[in-house]
Amino acid sequence: MKDAYGRRIDYLRLSVTDLCNYRCIYCMPDSGVPKRDHSEILSVEELVDAAAQAVRCGVRKVRVTGGEPLVRRGILDICRGVASLDVEELCLTTNGSLLSGYAQALRDAGVNRLNISLDTLRPERFVRLTRRGSLSDVMEGVEAASRAGFDRLKFNVVLMGGVNDDEIADFVALTRDRPVEVRFIELMPVGECAGWDRSRFVGAQRVLEVCPGLIPMRRDGVADRYRVPGYAGTVGLIRPLSHKFCGDCNRIRITADGKLKPCLHSGTEIPLKGLRGEALYRAIREGILQKPMQHEMERLGSRSARTMNRIGG
């Protein structure tokens, strides 16, 4: 269906948990977040029903997110349930730390595509940024995903000035021999990083300055795409601040605790927990119609009171 501004809403980001085994510096406090009672989180059946009603509203693509979705008990059942809805694309975003043990099972459960969050290629920096885990675990997960048949992996890299912007060329080099897409994402002032110094917020234009050999390609969703001639993969730039894409936004979000967010940066949340069937369908339709024309993050900051792990990215 279309929202009040004529945009076709066909993409659902479905957060299955707000828990994570990492504590990335821009996403979660080092102490983590209080664990919610099971009764506060959507069950496997509720998550699949929410996706089903969203599909009735015209959703054709579902992305499973977290927190870290692979720490969610029943994650394979959730993926199988959503895949059974005959969506055109079922994707999952993960930090990759547990992927080596899940890649083939996710493929068998109907997941078509994987995005892997990876903000550095340097082992010591990886520990500082995530405050947990190891880079080698993620790279083992990448190899397992390739063996399982995920042949167009996407790497999500959050650009942070003075933190990892000296690795732009290294990330672009990942596309030389692999048919992967490295997506550089502008840091957004949400949650943990809302009060950071402005120097940390680097425009994605920096990528083109560092790598002037990148040539433009056809756009893919919210990403402006580029490639280096002769390289197997591609580079994407996602610019919610410097080139916001609200006019083309086609997505809604459902949080793990059962709130529909028409916009990532809006404080508007429609409660879905406890609703099933037709009542749930009507609530999702209402949420789509409440989607704002655009965010005002560059002027007012994000209006969402949630940290990123509680939103689903």
pTM of the predicted model over 0.85: yes
| The predicted structure's pLDDT at residue 305 | 52
Helices (H), the chain: 44-56, 75-83, 103-108, 123-130, 135-147, 168-173, 205-210, 277-289, 297-300, 308-311
**Alpha carbon distance 272, 274 (integer Å):** 6
**Domain membership flag for residue 68:** yes
Q: Is the pLDDT at 300 greater than 60, yes or no?
A: no
Provide the domain limits for residue 99: 11-311
Q: Is the pLDDT at 36 greater than 90, yes or no?
A: no
**Domain membership flag for residue 2:** no
Determine contact, residues 249/7, Cβ cutoff 8 Å: yes
**Domain membership flag for residue 213:** yes
**Domain membership flag for residue 132:** yes
Q: Which of 311, 307, 304 is closest to 23 using CA atoms?
A: 307
Q: Is the pLDDT at 298 greater than 70, yes or no?
A: no
**Domain membership flag for residue 4:** no
**Domain membership flag for residue 1:** no
Q: Is the pLDDT at 295 greater than 90, yes or no?
A: no
**Alpha carbon distance 72, 66 (integer Å):** 8
| The predicted structure's pLDDT at residue 190 | 77
For the chain, how many structural domains are there in total? 1
Mean pLDDT over residues 131-159, rounded? 96
| The predicted structure's pLDDT at residue 246 | 86
Q: Is the pLDDT at 306 greater than 60, yes or no?
A: no
**Domain membership flag for residue 5:** no
Q: Is the pLDDT at 279 greater than 90, yes or no?
A: yes
Output the average pLDDT for the chain: 92
Gyration radius of the chain's alpha carbons: 18
| CATH number of the domain enclosing 40 | 3.20.20.70
* Residues 56-98 pLDDT 10s: 999 999 999 999 999 999 999 999 999 999 899 999 999 999 9
* Residues 201-232 pLDDT 10s: 889 999 999 999 999 998 887 899 999 999 99
**Which position has the higher pLDDT, 244 or 103?**
103
Query: Token digits for 108?
Result: 């068998």
